[in-house]
Amino acid sequence: MAYPPRDTVAGIVNAIQAEFALQQSANDATAAQLMSLVNSAGKELVLTYPWQQLSRDYTVTTDGVSSEYVLPTDWAYFVDQTQWDQTNGWPLMGPTSPQQWKWVQSSSVLSGRLRYRVRNNKFQVLPTTTSASIVMEYISGEWVENTGGTESYRDIQNTDNVVRLDPFLLQKFGKLKFWEIKGFDTTAFRDDFLRAFYALVGKDKGAPVLSLARSNRFPYITVNNVPDGSWGV
């Protein structure tokens, strides 16, 4: 089974209606409100965590003349520390602050090491005289797609759209937003949503084994890990 499980907007709205014992309809005011709330929930989840199913690659080939390049149309934000100059085999410097950018831009001496920043929805690099193939990862803001998967969107277009995020999490978040907008106590619904959210965040990409040791050297007792002293001898 593919992860995350695939479901339509209609399926998520119907699930919420069923849990609240509401009439399962796609045409009444409540259904329209739920679809709007699920849309809001999806856009918020995109910004909350870099979900692996929304991760994309972005490649820029600098031409040695231009200082800025167009970002992908579905760009939401970069995955930090993934910007690499593959031509020279080193990471890009940045994101550069406005102050650093002006300093580099005005400097009479520029190294070949590329710096980058995002400004005015463009990917900018300095120095412009360097030609390189730059690769990085970013998170797509298009979290819904059409039935055939040939088009994707930042907002729900209709109830037949398929969500790229976990539908169970969207269901929990939609319920929370619905209960909140009605002015009721949301404590139980918030706890329910957060349990699902943190469970998925913890399992979305896996995690490395963390070591409490200072280094990966030989683990036996040596002069490197025993402090000086007679130890009472």
Mean pLDDT over the full length of the chain: 89
Average pLDDT over residues 15-31: 89
The model's pLDDT over 64-114, given as tens digits with 9 standing for 90+, comes to 899 999 999 999 999 999 999 999 999 999 899 999 899 888 876 666 688
pLDDT score at 42 = 98
Q: Is 46 a residue whose pLDDT tops 80?
A: yes
pLDDT score at 145 = 97
Please report which confidence band the pLDDT of residue 219 belongs to, taking 50, 70 and 90 as the band edges. low
Please report which confidence band the pLDDT of residue 1 belongs to, taking 50, 70 and 90 as the band edges. very low
Q: Is 233 a residue whose pLDDT tops 60?
A: no
Please report which confidence band the pLDDT of residue 217 belongs to, taking 50, 70 and 90 as the band edges. low
Q: Is 208 a residue whose pLDDT tops 80?
A: no
Backbone angles phi, psi at 78, to 5 degrees: -80, 155
Q: Is 28 a residue whose pLDDT tops 70?
A: yes
Write out the chain in H/E/C secondary structure. Answer: CCCCCCCEHHHHHHHHHHHCCCCCCCCCHHHHHHHHHHHHHHHHHHHHCCCHHHEEEEEEECCCCCCEEECCCCEEEECCCCCEECCCCEECECCCCHHHHHHHHHCCCCCCCCEEEEECCEEEEECCCCCCEEEEEEEECCCEECCCCCCEECCCCCCCCEECCCHHHHHHHHHHHHHHHCCCCCHHHHHHHHHHHHHHHHHCCCCCCCCCCCCCCCCCCCCCCCCCCCCCC
The model's pLDDT over 119-131, given as tens digits with 9 standing for 90+, comes to 999 999 998 878 8
Q: Is 229 a residue whose pLDDT tops 70?
A: no
The model's pLDDT over 131-181, given as tens digits with 9 standing for 90+, comes to 899 999 999 999 999 999 999 999 999 999 999 999 999 999 999 999 999
Q: Is 55 a residue whose pLDDT tops 80?
A: yes
Please report which confidence band the pLDDT of residue 41 belongs to, taking 50, 70 and 90 as the band edges. very high
pLDDT score at 225 = 64
With pLDDT > 90 as the criterion, what percentage of the chain qualifies? 70
